[in-house]
Structure 1
Amino acid sequence: MTKSVLCAVDISNGDSDIPVLRRAAQLADLDGAQLDVVTVLPDFGETWVSGFFDTGFHEKAVKDAHDHLVGLCASALGEERNASVRHVVATGTAYQEILKTAETAGSDLIVIGAHKPDLKDYLLGPNASRVVRHSAVSVYVVR
């Protein structure tokens, strides 16, 4: 029985993750599981690149990403369903942060879209393929 479903979306993909969100909600609803939705921002951290951004840039980016994530979930799932969704904005490498969030949340299932496939990834996007390879829990890939 699934108790927690983590849905990973890329807010920079516009509305293309709506089918992924809807499938994750359906899967969570089958068992009455908690639905968490995560998006990952790149980490400019301590690198020389971070010097090009104003102080407070990261905090503003996280807030804007959270607002966008909540809006995306509301448009895909409706306001009522969205009210029970936990929205997570992580910073770092996408697949690593997805796996870390799944572990922290105690997720039994990760739902992810197969985006930007490359032949070397066998028609599965690079982040999705890494999540599938390294996940300790089941991964449902939406094509």
Structure 2
Amino acid sequence: MINSVLCAVDISNGELDAPVLKIAAKLADLDGAQLDVVTVLPDFGESWVSGFFESDFHNKALEEAHEKLTALCTANLDADRNEKIRHVVATGTAYQEILKTAESAGSDLIVIGAHKPDLKDYLLGPNAARVVRHSSVSVYVVR
């Protein structure tokens, strides 16, 4: 039985991750599981990089990402369903943050997209492949 599902989306993909989100919601609903949705922002914290940004850039980026993540969930699920979702915005390396979030949330299943559709091969994208390879829980890959 699944108690918690973590869905990883890239908000920079716009609506391209909508099918991933919808499948994650269906899988969570099968067992009445908690649905968590995570997106990961790159880390600009290194001193030589962060010097190019305003001091409050990171906080603004987190707020904007949270708004976009919530809007993606509301647009593809309904507002009532969205109220029950835990929206997580992490900062760092995508696959590492997805795995950390899954562990801290107690997720039993991770749902992730295979890659951006403009790739012409049938291989997993690098983040999905790393999540599959390093995860201690089941991973459902949406193509």
Query: Aligning the two structures, in what range does the TM-score lie when normalised by the shorter sequence?
Result: over 0.9
Distance (Å, rounded) in 1 between the aligned partners of 2:12 and 2:32: 29
Match of 2:67 in 1: 67
Q: Secondary structure at the match of 2:130?
A: helix
Compute the displacement of 1:118 (Å): 7.4
Match of 1:9 in 2: 9
AA in 1 matched with 2:78: G
- 8 Å contact from structure 1 (residues 4, 108) kept in 2: yes
**Structure 1: 4+ residue segments shifted above 4 A:** none
- 8 Å contact from structure 1 (residues 118, 124) kept in 2: no
Between the two proteins, the alignment pairs up a number of residues equal to 141
Match of 1:37 in 2: 37
1:1-143 equivalences in 2 (<5 Å) = 1-116=1-116, 117=119, 123-143=123-143
Q: For each residue in 1:42-73, what CA deviation from the matched residue of structure 2 results, as whole angstroms up to 9, or x when unmatched?
A: 00112411100001000000000000000000
Q: For each residue in 1:20-56, what CA deviation from the matched residue of structure 2 results, as whole angstroms up to 9, or x when unmatched?
A: 0000000000000000000000001124111000010
| % identity of equivalent residues | 75
The TM-score, its normalising length taken from structure 1, stands at 0.96
Distance (Å, rounded) in 2 between the aligned partners of 1:72 and 1:99: 21
Distance (Å, rounded) in 1 between the aligned partners of 2:96 and 2:107: 15
- 8 Å contact from structure 1 (residues 9, 17) kept in 2: yes
User: Which segments of 5 or more consecutive residues in structure 1 lack a partner in the other structure?
Assistant: none
